[in-house]
Structure 1
Amino acid sequence: MDYIDLTLYKETDLEKWINKSYRENGIFYADDIDIERIAAIWGIEVRTYLGPSFARWEDGEFGFIFLNDYLSEEHRREVFFHELCHPLQHSGNQEHMPQMFMELQEAQASLFQLYASMPVFMLEQFTSIQHRDYLLKTISEEFVLPLRVVERRMDQINRRIQQERYDRRLIHHSRSMAHSTYSASTMVILEQLNRQLQTKKQMTANG
C-alpha cells in the first residue's frame, strides 16, 4: 500500500465548512467526536427511542435526530452522521418529494457522512501505516465506525489523491511541451484535453 500523502487531497467546499466548524468548536481529534457535542454545534437535538432512525426539522426553527436505542455505538454514529446532513443541507419533506430528488438527497447525505465522521485533517497520524487491513481496523476503532464506512472513506481519499497526482503529471507534461512548436490541429487536441480534465476534476470533487 502506498504512503497516503494527504497534502495532495483536495477538500470540497462542504468538507471545508464541516472542518472549520469542528475546529472552531474544539474538535481536533477522533477522541473529540461525540454525537451530542457535534449536534450541539448546529443546534440539533438528539433523541433515542425504539423505532427507526430519522431526522425531523423545520428550516430555521428546529432540528431533531431520532436514533434507534438498540444500535451499537458504531452503527449509531454511522446513522447519526447520515441523518445530520438533512437538517443542515436540505429543505423539504422527503415523504412529499419526487423519488429522484429524494435519491439525490440520500446520495448527498452519504457524502456528508464520510466527511463529518472522518475529517481528513484528523487522519494525518495514521498515514504511516502501510498495511491496508491494519489501517482500516485502526481507524475503525479510533473513530468508532463500521469497517465498511472507513473503507468507503479511505477509498474516496485515495481516488482523489491519485487524481491529483495524475493532474499534476499532465500539467507538468503540458508545460514541458510548451517549448515546442505546435500545429493548429495539436492545439485543438490540447484544448480538448484541458476541457476534459477540468470536467473530470469537477466530477471527482463531487464524489
Structure 2
Amino acid sequence: MYPYTPTPLEQSIERLFQAMEIAEPHQLDPEAIAHRLSIWVHYAPFSSQAIDRSGLQSIVLDNRLSKQEQWQDFGHELCHLLHHAGNQLAMGESFIRFQETKAMNFAYQFCIPTFMLLKTELPRLEAEAVTTISGTFGVTPEFARERLKRHYRQVTSNRLAEKLTAFFHAEEIVKRTEGIDYIVPTGRSKMLFCRERGVIGYMRDRDESE
C-alpha cells in the first residue's frame, strides 16, 4: 500500500462505512447498508430513483438490471438522499446536471471505496486489474475500468503534490540557510536576492535535455 492522501469525499465515505462497521468488500450489500441507514429498498420495473417523503427515505432499484448494475444505481441514488434536497422536476436543467455529476462521482467512490481499493492487490495489466475490481466489488467491467482510471488520476495528482511540497520545502531550507529572501526566475536561471545585501548570486535551471 503506497502513501495516499484521500480527498474530502473519500474521507467522508470511509467514515460512513466505519460508522456502519463495514471494512471489507464482501460486506458491500445494498440491502444491508440501506437497513443500517434506515432506508427502504424496493424493486420495480422502471428506472432506479431515490424518494424522500417527509424524512421517510426509499430507493427504488430497477429489477430489470443485473445485481452489479443495481449496486451501482444504489450508490448513485444514495448520494441524492444523503447530499441533495428538492424535487428535480422543479429544478433547472443545469442544476440537475450538476447533481447527477456529483451523484455519479459519489457512486464510483461509494461502490468501490478508496480505502478498500488501496488494500486490493491489483495486477499490472489494466484488463486484469479491471477484472479483479469488478469481481471484488461486484460492479460491471465498464464501471470498474472508469473507477480505475479515476483512481490512477488521483494517485498521479497525489504524487505530483508530494513532489511540489518537497521542492518548496527544500527551497525554504536553502533560503533560510543562505540568508536568501527571494528566489526570482530570470529566463534559464534564478536570481538569489537578499533584502540587506541585494543580489547575491544566480542559480542555473537544470536543462531538461541533460
Normalised by the shorter chain, which TM-score bucket?
0.7 to 0.9
Aligned to 2:164: 170
Bigger radius of gyration: 2
> 1:11-160, aligned counterparts within 5 Å?
11-58=6-53, 61-160=55-154
Sequence identity (%) = 25
User: How many residues matched?
Assistant: 182
Distance 1:184 1:128, change over 3 A: closer
Q: In 2, distance between residues paired with 1:184 and 1:20?
A: 42
5+ residue gaps, structure 2: 191-210
5+ residue gaps, structure 1: 191-207
Q: Which amino acid aligns with 2:7?
A: T
CA contact (8 A) 1:126 1:135 kept: no
Q: In 2, distance between residues paired with 1:118 and 1:98?
A: 30
Deviation at 1:94, TM superposition (A): 0.3
TM (normalized to structure 1)?
0.79
TM (normalized to structure 2)?
0.78
Q: In 2, distance between residues paired with 1:14 and 1:126?
A: 20
The structure where strand makes up a greater share of residues is 2
CA contact (8 A) 1:46 1:67 kept: yes
SS at match of 1:71: coil
User: 1 or 2 for the larger relative contact order (CA 8 Å, sep ≥6)?
Assistant: 1
Q: Which amino acid aligns with 1:131?
A: L
Residues 50-59 or 70-79, more deviating: 50-59
The structure where helix makes up a greater share of residues is 1
Q: In 2, distance between residues paired with 1:72 and 1:169?
A: 43
SS at match of 1:164: helix
